Homo-oligomer: A and B are copies of this chain.
């Protein structure tokens, strides 16, 4: 490995001090520096292929221009799509992203955050997992800038960017009801996470608002780390009883992905025998014979906004920004109105 060139090397070859080299390469004190010397320094820097050691700079300036991204699982399309958006937005401001997956486990998240902080990230973007309130409160106490994405805790006064889950589901439900569906099932998660419960609340409120009595067999609440088999089973139960549902609302793309497979296996026609709505788009839904109605999350806006809020709060740590963004209902064939 050819030794990397440092300011010192440049300084020596040119015959000046490292300070001067630093000033020149950072375009500081421009008017005070001899143009010829500056030119020479730049030339030598180029020749020696100088790359500033960001680590050394960080140590001195106490800024790493790095943000930490904590997702549940980077291989999940929702996470990776947002990761990409965040990467691009961060890059615009010359920030780089360190990431890690928490697998929805507070312990793992804790370890991850700790690792990222040891690396002196300037701030964190977190998809928080269930039960991480205490950790987050601690971060807050330590004055570390962070923004929550997708989920948040109403009892914590933190920055966050999330979907207006209640509104989105309510909108979807109203659409189903307006289209003539009456026995509407929902497959969602059993969790204490506020945002997911908002989805449930949206479902229940919509039923109530339309005077449709709720039956508890319509609501399937699955663990966050649910297996594909369990999703299959839940969908099966919704669709094969004596009084099957005539529409299903899936609370995540993973649930929809496996749920639709089961609908295929049962040879049910969509939407004639069962209408379907999913939260969160996926290009792959188009492989299904009937295009699926879904709630489009404003991913671009979520990612960009979250990143901007974080960078703002890194600059000056004062305000708290909380954003509940609207989802858009994209109506496709899977919820065609029942003609009667």
Docked complex Cα distance between A100 and B88 (Å): 9
- Which residue of B is nearest A299, CB measured? B75
Interface residue from B52, B99, B257 paired with A287 (Cβ < 8 Å): B257
Cβ of A77 and Cβ of B74 under 8 Å apart?
A: no
Among B1, B56, B264, point to the contact of A144 (Cβ < 8 A): B1
**Number of identical protomers:** 2
Contact of A100 among B96, B120, B260 (CB under 8 A): B96
Asked whether A13 is an interface residue with its Cβ less than 8 Å from the other chain, the reply is no
Does A87 lie at the interface of the complex (its beta carbon under 8 Å from any beta carbon of B)? yes
Q: A2-B142, A257-B284 are in contact. Are A74 and B83 (CB under 8 A)?
A: yes
Are A55 and B261 in contact, CB atoms less than 8 angstroms apart?
A: no
Is the C-beta of A297 less than 8 angstroms from some C-beta in chain B?
A: no
The smallest C-beta distance from A46 to any residue of chain B, in angstroms, reads: 14
Interface membership of chain A positions 34-70, coded 1 if the CB is closer than 8 angstroms to chain B and 0 otherwise:
0000000000000000011111101100001010000
The yes or no answer to A97 lying at the interface (CB within 8 A) is yes
24 contacts between A and B (CB under 8 A): A54-B120, A55-B58, A55-B64, A66-B98, A74-B84, A74-B87, A75-B83, A76-B80, A77-B77, A80-B83, A88-B101, A91-B100, A96-B98, A96-B100, A97-B98, A97-B99, A99-B99, A257-B283, A264-B289, A282-B284, A284-B284, A284-B287, A285-B287, A287-B287
